[in-house]
Structures are given as structure tokens and as C-alpha cells.
A and B are shown apart, each in its own frame.
Chain A
């Protein structure tokens, strides 16, 4: 059955159309959910796309996490459905404490737009399920605040729990332990800085992102089927 993905739109979000296009190209169905809604509607998974929710003023995600829709996102997450934050979405999920840690300014103190190599470090998440550990993917990054930070205990917990799902081959932003993406303990809530939706067409340079979004749709579809 076709997985239905809700794509949350905060004022200032800008990757929502790109995410929808990528999900639909992979056979999923996608719909926008306005941040002021209190319900996500009938969806099997939700993606918080990239951009600059509320201008990233104060801190990325700091204002967005108070949006009415976030209660529904949190409920969906507790229900075990896939919740994926891409870039700004990852920042929102950490601010909302659905994922641990924080994203600071890049160590190089400048915005970075590039295509980088990342490695699958754990298959225990809705985004990496079925992808062998060590698989290298070429996926664009596009952020100023992508430098993942957490305290030593949290890092140990993440490592021990197989919750570090993606790591940079060549750390571009200073993230601790080369972290590009993490998951919650159940593996259904995922945040990552790279943009898989930008790597879904060879014409644009890479289609490795299809593996990640494909895994997400499979996870969402499996829930529908079960």
C-alpha cells in the first residue's frame, strides 16, 4: 500500500516541495501539513523538511518547536511511526527534545553547500533499514548549523544503542564523532543534516538519496500493512 507522508510546513521552511517531489517519485504520496494544524491528518509518516523555520531566529528550531503541529508530531513519534527531520527538521527535533543533543554553528563558521560522502553506521532506523553498515552514499549538505554536539554520556548512549545512523566520511562541520544523523532508541525518530531529497536524480549528480527515502517509505508502508 502506498505510504502517506505528511510534510510539515513552518513559515520559512523551503524544502517542502523538494521533499514531496522526491517522495512521489518513489511512489509514496505526500501532503503538506501547515504548522498551525493540531492534527497531522491521515499519515503513516511525517517529514520535517529543511529550510529556515521562523528565519532560524534565536536558534534554528527554537520557535518552530512551539508550533501547534509539534504535539501531533510527538504523538506520532510515541506511536512508533516514522518521524524524520532533515536539516532544519533535525534542528527542530533536537529543540523539541525528540532527539538528544544540539546543532551548533559549523566549525568553519560558514554556511556549507556541497555534496559529501556519508556512511551508513547503523541499520537500526527507519531511514537506514536494509542498508548494510558501511554503505557509502553521496548526498548534498546545506547548512550553517550542522555541527552536532552532545555530552559524553549521550554520545556513549548513542554509540552503544546503534543510534548513530549516518557518519561523514570527511567531517565538514565539526560534528562530534562525525555524526551526520541519529535516531531515537526505537529507531523511528530520525534526524540528519544531509538532504536525501536532493540526491534522487542522476541528472542532479546523485541518486543515492533514493536508498534512504526508499527505506523510509518501506518502513511507513510496512506499518500500514501490519
Chain B
């Protein structure tokens, strides 16, 4: 190359370090290019090879997750996983974290997190139909944590409602380990006709790359902004670059972008499409080119810019929100532009697909334009380093294991302990539109969300054999468990998530995960990550649930302390027939309450290791987690899904008789998780505004103990079930599945009574659960 070769760098060896690249990485770039990279090229590699974009610390471990299954149409590696739902429909699923942005500007951090995950879904050709928001904050007595929590909830509400996608569930956890570093994870699920599936690949030499949506500003230039302080630009720009890189979400732009993109895809006007997320245009252009095995020429001048005087590296690395890159044939361009015009979506041809395999950044498309960067496209995307970072089992785990919480003093009053554990997340989810699209059969508040499988513009599946009628979604994580034993804890988390889905009558078919961990340069953190992945792999393999996607969020630490390991999973379940609402997680007056669980001695009791009670009441986090018997758990999932099934009548039982299906006499159901049987009973009492009188659990350990594979059910008395004893019928099925069942007592009245341990009013419980969040967060959480 002669005149048009990229400007050569100064002899500035510190630049790559300032950009976050190691000396070895810089050397690798030089050898890939066969020459020194220039500043722009270095900036592009820096963002693409960042932990966030390249998964360089986690990639060597993620490969151990099982990702194959009959229903998996698209596994990890694409923008979202896609699962075949039968009947010509598919479900796209993806989870992402927006932890760090939310710590700085909670509202916009969370809002842009929602925006980003939506784009991952509609870029696959799917109409987003549901959002979930697993949230973790510092304790409510910390003013900054309250400010973050209320801002995050407002941001999800503000963006999700306005963009017109219902938020149907999530999690809400307050824990000291998240003070200063909240976890804001967002899951999105979409529906598409299986034949509309598009991938983010550029193909067809001569095709055009069209940038859709917002203008590009200096948003989220992040680490790259140090370029300025390295003397890359003049002083005024250096000053400007110190502005915190906060992005502002525009749900209205995103809504128009969704409608425009789905219309383009429906009309088959694009050959590939990709959202712009982290690393902005650099990522979208290099990934689409790399996946398509082609090259691309990109014009900086063609990119609509929101601010004057932007440098090429700013345009190429900006993370301005609400943008998409569509690959279209020249013949389709006019049609594409007219769809965009109708939806008032800005569209500009910024790139051209070439056969060179190289990503070239040009000042413009005019003849004689300068080439600002010229790199093999695939190297940005595929040649990022993979690190086998050192791992070490934390020394402190032995101490934690020997700190047996069974030796903690028993409560003076189990009833008041129970009241102190209650939190009603309704204060949060009442701020979310969870009903749009008329799909939400089980809204937030149940064990899992249950949605009709349908969406505007996507025909509902014909009632063909094998076509799912509904989907169930649950997100789950438990850092208390994972801190004691990341492998066993993650197994328990996957087990719980699958059970939540079963409780609304679904069978789990796929899972996505968001691995929130501390600093990967700490060997203990890498060990935790590796163990969690092994645990997830073991549980998913045993339960037959492929992992179709995920996200890794590292460097979650504040004041030098890593967060407890927090793998969060989102489980997708399918339901074949949907004719009634599944049993609510509520006590129903006049019914018998039974506990289903493992038959092993003590299996129904659980343990206080890593339990909510030990932590919240006694400030104790220790012990050895009870193991999960995954074979038994798989049988439990099948049993629970069938007794909770929302199918009206059992199609296998011959002609319709109007009788409930065998086992469907269960009228209330709730799994037992955090807080043990005590909390599960109280939650059911609150949901049903009905008390209970149960004998057993007999001790506070059995009352608050946590352990896997347990479910509470309500059964009508024999008289109401036409004389047959539902308990006996259930006991037969439970025994056949190799599980145990015990009769705990009856539901009714206005007091929650566990003989010898608890006697509190249902009203008291309702009030206690209700007051927590409103009191703490009601005034906007107070000052930062």
C-alpha cells in the first residue's frame, strides 16, 4: 500500500495500554496485520477484544455447557438462542447484564439495558413479547442502594412500558454484597415464524450495509476515551471526553425501530441484520462481515452524527443506543428506505459488502477518499485472545463449610422471624406493564410467568400435534448458596428454575444464563466461575435442558470486594395445551395442604446452610448445602408439570367428560425455595388471603430449612372431588415417581398456624410483606 495506507502510529507504546490492551495483545494485533496498527485500528481491536465483547476470560469455560437439543435452532454465539416451539413457531431467548451503567445512572442504565436486549431479540426476526428483570441491590438501609433500586425499577418501567413489551417477571434481592455494584440483568423472549429466522451475517458482494435508527453521538465511548488523554485529539476534545459515558435510552425510537425492522424482515427485504451494542459500529460491521465470510467498506461521513466534529474512532466505537445495521441488496434499497421513512426511522447506507474479507474504514465513499483503517474483519471478531486465567479454590470455603448453622440459637419467636423475611415484590411489578399483547395468563407473582404463545403479526400456531400453546419463563439465582459452593449452588439454582416452570404446568426446554462474577484476575473468582459452569453443565445435562445463550459479566466488585458468585438462569418451558389457568401459588380455604419431596430421611426438611433465615435473622452464612438428586428432581418436574397442567382435560383419557384430568385436582401449588416451608406457606397465605393450620414442620430448622425438590400443594376434600380422595390419588402418583408426600394440615381461617412454632395473622403477613418496599423506596429512595 502506498498513499492510501492508514496513517502510521506515533512511537506511542503506552497507547495500547491506555486502551486496555496488554502488550501481548498489541503484539498479536501487529502480527495479525503484518504491521503496526494505527490509532483507529488499535481502538477498534481494543473494544472488540474487551472482556465485554470477546469473553476472553470465560470462553475457554463456556464450551463445557451443553448447548444441543432437538429443539435448538440456534445455540450460543448468535444474538439470541432460538428454540423450536412446534407448529412453525420458534422462540428467541436472551439475557444480558447492565450492571455497571446502572450503578452510575440507575434510570438510564436499566433503560438502556432493556433497549439492548430487545434489539438482540428482534434482530433474529422475532417479535419481543416478554421481558424479565432479575435485580440485585445493596441493602435497603443503605441510601445509595435505595436510590439505585428505585432508579433501576423506574428505568425498566419507563423504557419497557413505553417500548411496548410487557415485563412479566424477574427477581428482587437485597444483599450487602451488591452495595456499590448492583446486578441489573434483563431477559427478553420473542416469537417468530421459524421460517423468518435471520442471522447477523453479511453476504452478497455489492450488497449495502444500512444503518437504521438514532444518530451517532459520543455516547459510551468508555475506555476508548483515554485516547484523548493520550494526545490523540486536541485539548478541548480531551476535556469533553472526560464526560462520563452515560447513554440515554429512547424507547420511542426503539419502538419505531422494532416495527420497521419486523416489517423489513416480513417483506424479506434484508439479507442479514445485526443490532449495535457494545463496540457499536465496529462490532456490527466486523461481526456481520466475519459471519458472512466477506469484507466491508464503511464510510465515516455516511454515518448520521448527532454532534459536530466527531473523530472517526468516536464514530466507530460509539455505543449510541437504538441503532441497527441491515444488509440489503441494492435492488431492495428503495423499498427499505420507504419502510423506514413511514416509521420515521433514519436510514443511511454506511457500508458496502466486498469480497476482500477486510473491514476498511474510509473517510467517505467519494473517489480518492482516505482509508483510515484496513484490517481482516474476522480477526476483530474471532481472533480475540482466550485466557486460561489462574484459578484457586478460595481458602475461606473450609471455614464456611464448618460453620454449621444448625448450631445457631433457635428463634425466640418463629412467627416474628417469618414476618421479617417477607417481601412482596408487587411494588416493583405493578410499575411494569405485564399484560400487553393479551398473552399473560400467569402474571408476575406466580412461580413462573405463563404466556400464550402468540404475538402481533405472528400467526398463532395451528392446534397441530407438537405445537406448543404457551410458554413459561422463570429467572433464578441465589448467591448465598453459590458463595458456599458455586457448583452445588448453581445446580440448585437450575433445579429451582426448572421447578418454577413446572409449577405452572410447563416442561423446561431451554435455558439462558447470566454469569455475574467478580474480578477474573482474582484466581478465586475464576475458580468460582469455572465451578458454576460445571454445576450448570451437570444440572442441565441431567435435566435435559440445553443452554441456548448467555452473558458473562465480570469485574463486579466494589471497594476491593468481589460480589458473591451470582449465576442467574432464565428457563423457558413449553405447555402443549392451554385451556385454563394453572393452580395459583395460593392457599385455598377448605383444602388440604401436602408437601411433595425427596423420600430420603430428612429430605423433606432441608437445611439452614446458606438459608435466608440464617443470613437475615442471625447474620450467618455458612454450612454445607444439601445435595440435589437430579434424577429424582427430573421425576419431580414431570409430576409437577402434569398436576399443574393448564390443559383442561386429559386428552389421553378418552372422550371429554368434563372431569378434571387425573391429578389436576390440585388447586394451589408453590415450590419451596428461599425461606423454606415457612416462607412458602406464608407466601401462599398472602396470595390466597387465607390462613392455615399445619402440624409439622416440627422445628425451626424444618420450618426455615432450604433444600431442593420440594413443592406445596392444596387439594380439595374428598366431598368436593366427587367422593374420591384426591390425597390418596396424589399419593399413588407420588409414590410411583419415587417421591414422598406428607399431609401438613389444612388451609382456612385468618391465621397462619404452624403448631408449636408460628401463630400470626394473615393480615399481619400481608401488611409486613407489603410495607417493605413502599416504605423504603416510595419516595424515590432518597439521596445518592
**Which of B99-107, B154-162, B192-200 contacts the other chain?**
B154-162
Given contacts A17-B456, A56-B162, A111-B432, contact A198 B438 (CB under 8 A): yes
Is A15's CB within 8 Å of the partner chain B? yes
- B441 sits at the interface (CB 8 A): yes
* Interface segment, one of A47-55, A185-193, A216-224: A47-55
Given contacts A52-B252, A57-B252, contact A11 B161 (CB under 8 A): no
Give Cα distance in the complex from A142 to B457, angstroms: 23
A195-219 contact mask (Cβ, 8 Å, vs B): 1 or 0: 1011011011100000000000000
From the candidates B157, B250, B431, B433, name the one contacting A55 in the complex (CB within 8 A).
Answer: B250
**Residues of the A chain whose Cβ atoms lie less than 8 Å from the Cβ of B443:** 205
Complex: chain A residue closest to B457, CB-CB: A17
Q: How far does the alpha carbon of A109 sit from the alpha carbon of B774 in the complex, in Å?
A: 12
* Shortest distance from the beta carbon of B562 to any chain A beta carbon, whole Å: 33
Task: Determine the distance from Cα of A54 to Cα of B161 in the docked complex, in whole angstroms.
Answer: 13
Kindly list chain B residues whose C-beta atoms are within 8 Å of the C-beta of A109. 780
B255 & A204 in contact (Cβ 8 Å cutoff): no
Residue of A nearest to B166 (CB): A113
User: For the complex, what is the distance from the CA of A26 to the CA of B25, rounded to whole Å?
Assistant: 65
Name the interface size band of chain B.
35 or more
Query: In this assembly, does A89 line the interface, its C-beta being within 8 Å of a C-beta of chain B?
Result: no
**Contact A110/B431 with A55-B250, A57-B252 known, Cβ cut-off 8 Å:** yes
Known: A55-B250, A55-B252. A11 touches B435 (CB 8 A): no
Among A12, A195, A197, A198, the residue within 8 A (CB) of B252 is A12
Residues on A with beta carbons closer than 8 Å to the beta carbon of B452? 203
CA distance A12 to B250 in the complex (A): 11
Of all chain B residues, the one with the shortest Cβ separation from A112 is B430
Task: Name the B residues within 8 Å of A204 (CB-CB).
Answer: 435, 438, 440-441
Q: Which of B157, B430, B436, B441 makes the CB contact (< 8 A) with A15?
A: B436
- Is the pair B161, A201 in contact by a Cβ cutoff of 8 Å? no
Q: Which residues from chain B contact A112 at a C-beta distance below 8 Å?
A: 430-431
> With the chains together, A94 CA to B267 CA distance in Å?
37
Q: Nearest residue in B to A197 (C-beta to C-beta)?
A: B438
Contacts of B344 in A (CB 8 A): 11
In the complex, residue of chain A having the shortest beta-carbon distance to the beta carbon of B255: A12
**B343 is an interface residue with CB less than 8 A from chain A:** yes
Q: Does B518 contact A (CB under 8 A)?
A: no
Contact with A along B292-323 (1 / 0, CB 8 A): 00000000000000000000000000000000
In the complex, what's the smallest C-beta–C-beta distance from B170 to chain A, in angstroms?
A: 14
In the complex, the answer to whether A113 meets B250 with C-beta atoms within 8 Å is no
A18 contacts the other chain (Cβ, under 8 Å)?
A: yes
What are the interface flags for B65-105 relative to A under an 8 Å C-beta threshold, 1 for contact and 0 otherwise? 00000000000000000000000000000000000000000
Is the Cβ of B252 less than 8 Å from the Cβ of A54?
yes
- Smallest distance from the beta carbon of A222 to chain B beta carbons, Å? 27
Interface residues of A in 1-20 (CB under 8 A from B): 11-12, 14-15, 17-18
Please give the residue numbers on chain B whose beta carbons come within 8 Å of chain A beta carbons, in ascending order: 154, 157-158, 161-162, 164, 250-253, 255-256, 259, 343-344, 429-438, 440-441, 443, 452, 456-457, 578, 580-581, 780
Pull 29 A–B residue pairs with CB atoms less than 8 Å apart, ordered by A: A11-B256, A11-B343, A12-B164, A14-B436, A17-B457, A21-B438, A22-B438, A52-B161, A52-B162, A52-B164, A52-B255, A55-B162, A55-B250, A55-B255, A109-B780, A110-B157, A110-B430, A111-B161, A111-B430, A112-B430, A142-B161, A142-B435, A144-B161, A198-B438, A203-B452, A204-B435, A204-B438, A205-B443, A205-B581
Given A56-B252, A113-B432, A114-B430, 10 other A-B residues pairs in contact with their CB atoms under 8 A: A11-B343, A52-B255, A55-B162, A55-B250, A110-B157, A111-B157, A112-B431, A113-B430, A113-B431, A197-B438
